[in-house]
Chains A and B, each alone.
Chain A
Amino acid sequence: MMTKAMVDTSAMPGWGVDADAENNPTWPMRQIDNQQTRGLSWQRPAQQHPHVEVLRSIEHNRLPAVIGTSTPPSGLSGAIRRYAFRRSESDWWHWLLLMGADRINVVEGVIEDLAHGKVPNIPAELGAKAEWKYNKKGFVLKAGTVLALGLGVAAMLRGGPRPDSAEEPAAPAEPATTMLPAPYWETPPVPAAPVVLIAPDIA
């Protein structure tokens, strides 16, 4: 245990003569008036033993007493997260790897939904109903963009390997991509198929 006095200060000339309790810019956020000891010296709460995998910052020398157990790491994103947790919070790679894992996790989420026989209603998840109600112009622009993008992708897939249609594939995809507005639809790559499926739901 570390205490406040690590060395004998009594012999040190002038020790503490300029100490000023009023000069504490951390007060009242940090109230240290009655603090006797420093370091890991407190009476700890009971230790929760997690029933799922919990990653721990290497800056902790022990597991905190209470732990969140939401969504343990899994799949490829989980493997990346485990690797990221070998590095400290001070290391940029720690956070960049976690951000990368977050993006992969989105794809895993869609696969997981499909594996459970659930086609995610992505427009609904994006709040399309509210967009339609309160921002019709934006809705039409975004829906139109997604539709154009979908048609473009479909045309590309259809026209891909055919030798006799050299001018067909690239052209339709081009304008659709440049039209993509920010930021509402931009982050997840919206698959073309569900949009058509969902259309009746929006109307």
Chain B
Amino acid sequence: MLAMNYRGPYRVRADERPMPRILHPEDAIVRVTRSCICGSDLHLYHGMVPDTRVGMTFGHEFCGTVEQVGAEVRNLNVGDHVLVPFNIACGKCHFCQQGLFGNCHESNAQATAVGGIYGYSHTAGGYDGGQAQYVRVPYADVGPMVIPDWMDPDDAVLLTDVVPTGYQAAEMGGIQPGDTVVVFGAGPVGLMAARSAWLFGASRVIVIDHVEYRLDFARVFGPAEVYNFREIDDMVVFLKKLTDSLGPDVCIDAVGGDAAGSAIQTLLGTKLKLEAGNAIALHWAINSVKKGGIVSIVGVYGPTGNIIPIGNVVNKGITIRANQASVKRLLPRLIDHIKNGHMNPKAMITHRVPLTDVADAYHIFAAKLDGCIKPVLLPNGL
């Protein structure tokens, strides 16, 4: 079968690989129909995530048809078209039982701080991902969900990560009716967070980025007030001025360690790797949010450490909430939202690319060429 093959920072290609096999009685093998490239794949692509081994296949946002099931799989049948949440979750452990499906204790040998994630380095379990024609899906009765007949597969594939991650970002913000919400990052997750903020009752949604075409998209898709940080001298002063000097009620970091802005953070985090990426978005979030406000983090950072003004968190009485999205917990609600027309995720898909062109797809997405917002790979054709 054909699969994406990571060869080193900025270098990927599609190669023939052995078919995945059932390795556990609760496994399924899924034939991939759609597989997105995610902003967090770019952290891997840029070589920022420790224990990203050459030869691995990425891809944690995919849907496909069930090809084969293990002996203990009860809920899935061969031929079912399923969407597969990016979290690998057992459904039984201490954490899964609390609804923390992104924090499963039975899916990642290499680390305890994060649950297993498809195609996301060995730090997230060492699973080959879905940017391939076929993929092994562990705990097939827990994560995968049969795609409803009425649902467009383009919406379904976005329900595996970006929609629930953006939605959970807004949920963790504890947004109350009337709140002003600032979202840092106009990538797919930031766009979904902005859209979701309205569903929680925000009265004003502001999106910050530096990529003009994405800000233009956010203005309509959010809809949101948008600002380009390249044109702003001091982001924190600017946001205070927009909000009667008090600061926004809720700030959402939908950027993570691959941020731009702040030469010093870029030097320390991106170039020298002395911190786990560039934490400028989080820095801005903490320093601009209202006293007593909430900072919600869904941007991906590495496991070491970042320079953030933690003293200000204390002095301002800020609540910080963060997690990998618990996709399975959120799916029923999000499916309702799509059915009721409260959100239209598939509008974010700008590129549809055969798997053979995976290197170009990564480059277009990473370099933000050709107006790219969300690329989807089609490993088995249309």
Residues of A near any B CB (own CB < 8 A): 25, 28-32, 35, 38-46, 48, 50-51, 54-57, 59-60, 63-71, 73, 77, 81, 85, 89, 92, 95-96, 98-99, 101-103, 105-106, 108-110, 112-113, 120-122, 124-131, 133-135, 138, 183-185, 187-188
Report Cα–Cα, A77/B50, bound state, in Å. 12
A51 to chain B minimum Cβ distance, whole angstroms, is 8
Task: For A66, give its contact among B90, B98, B168, B326 (CB under 8 Å).
Answer: B90
Supply 12 A–B pairs (Cβ within 8 Å), ascending by A: A25-B319, A46-B72, A57-B112, A64-B116, A65-B24, A70-B55, A81-B51, A95-B302, A110-B7, A126-B11, A130-B359, A130-B370
Report Cα–Cα, A50/B219, bound state, in Å. 49
**Given A29-B326, A105-B54, A120-B7: A57 in contact with B110 (beta carbons within 8 A):** yes
Chain A contact residues: over half helix, strand or loop, or mixed? loop
B109, CB-defined interface residue at 8 Å: yes
Q: Is the CB of A65 within 8 A of B172?
A: no
Q: Tell me which residues from 312 to 368 in chain B have a Cβ below 8 Å from any Cβ of chain A.
A: 319, 321, 323, 326, 329, 357, 359-364, 366-367
A41 to chain B minimum Cβ distance, whole angstroms, is 8
Q: Tell me which residues from 113 to 156 in chain B have a Cβ below 8 Å from any Cβ of chain A.
A: 113, 116, 122-123, 125-128, 138-139
- In the assembled complex, which residues on chain B have CB atoms less than 8 Å from the CB atom of A85? 110
- In the assembled complex, which residues on chain A have CB atoms less than 8 Å from the CB atom of B232? none
Residues of B near any A CB (own CB < 8 A): 7-13, 23-26, 46-47, 50-57, 72, 88, 90, 92-94, 97-100, 105-113, 116, 122-123, 125-128, 138-139, 168, 171-172, 273, 302-305, 319, 321, 323, 326, 329, 357, 359-364, 366-367, 369-370
Determine the residue in chain A with the shortest Cβ distance to B363.
Answer: A127
Report Cα–Cα, A113/B109, bound state, in Å. 29
Most B C-beta atoms less than 10 A away, residue of A57, A66, A103, A108: A66
**Given A42-B94, A98-B50, A102-B50: A188 in contact with B106 (beta carbons within 8 A):** no
Report Cα–Cα, A56/B26, bound state, in Å. 21
B172 to chain A minimum Cβ distance, whole angstroms, is 7
- In the assembled complex, which residues on chain B have CB atoms less than 8 Å from the CB atom of A28? 99, 171, 329
Q: Is the CB of A108 within 8 A of B109?
A: no
Q: Is the CB of B57 within 8 A of A70?
A: yes
Q: Is the CB of B100 within 8 A of A71?
A: no
Determine the residue in chain A with the shortest Cβ distance to B112.
Answer: A59
Report Cα–Cα, A110/B11, bound state, in Å. 11
A135 to chain B minimum Cβ distance, whole angstroms, is 6
Q: Is the CB of A29 within 8 A of B172?
A: yes
Q: Is the CB of B97 within 8 A of A42?
A: yes
- In the assembled complex, which residues on chain A have CB atoms less than 8 Å from the CB atom of B304? 92, 95-96
Q: 10 closest Cβ contacts across the A-B interface?
A: A127-B363, A68-B126, A106-B8, A68-B127, A130-B360, A109-B54, A187-B9, A98-B50, A134-B369, A125-B11
Report Cα–Cα, A176/B7, bound state, in Å. 25
Q: Is the CB of B106 within 8 A of A45?
A: yes
- In the assembled complex, which residues on chain A have CB atoms less than 8 Å from the CB atom of B108? 64, 68
Task: For A108, give its contact among B54, B110, B116, B125 (CB under 8 Å).
Answer: B54
